[in-house]
Structure 1
């Protein structure tokens, strides 16, 4: 089991809360929110909660994964997602290129949860990116960026990936 490292944020909790809205109407009507709307809200909420305590990070991450799996008509495609080498930007935030390969017969989008860890496997941050409108048989790219500065040897792994 991974441990939450000191100073880690609770963006996964924000992800869980935002993704839980995926089944709610986003305009007050009966129309369900689109999965991409939920991913956008999750990324926004994750950034705004970066200063929260880290003791709920592990359970929030598990909840986020559970909610991602519930995206209507989503397909688990973790094996179709590759990550580049994590780098640090000018603000000290970890970034990593995300490449999603669409093996479906038509254009699809992806929601990908990325876990940033230290070299010992301690969870430091969790972020969500959307790779939208990837044509059939092709790959799409996005960049995942940590919600706060991460020091030391930062690694990245695909925690969850759903194609819809």
Structure 2
């Protein structure tokens, strides 16, 4: 009995893949290896919150509209990029995740194990929005991308980009990203 449960767990873990897949690949490669320990981790103490003025943030400045600020978690490592926002049941308004992709190219993301709809804002090295994928459907392996190269991807709650008039060409700046 315990062997059957263990075998089922191993198969389940083997089927789990990355939350997002850089450059349109869906199969693991040496630069995009699947995260096998991506199941929700036990509750850990939350890191001490920084004052809003010191927290990492992305500021988008749509012409003719007020600036919009997003407090972000930063995904810097391949493992952080792969895990992304998987298993999050809720994300506060005006919060998101900024993916530092390391190389400007056509980026492609999926929503495997992502529980909430997201807008994906692709940002070029010129610090302007390359394009937006709006309201990405949760829990799907559909590849989502824009047809312009990007170096960064900002994920926010679904509908956020339209609400704040963010579209291709919107200027972007980063605050307090550190390293």
With CA pairs under 8 Å and 6+ residues apart, which has the higher RCO, 1 or 2? 1
* TM norm structure 1: 0.32
If each structure's strand is expressed as a fraction of its own residues, which one has the higher value?
1
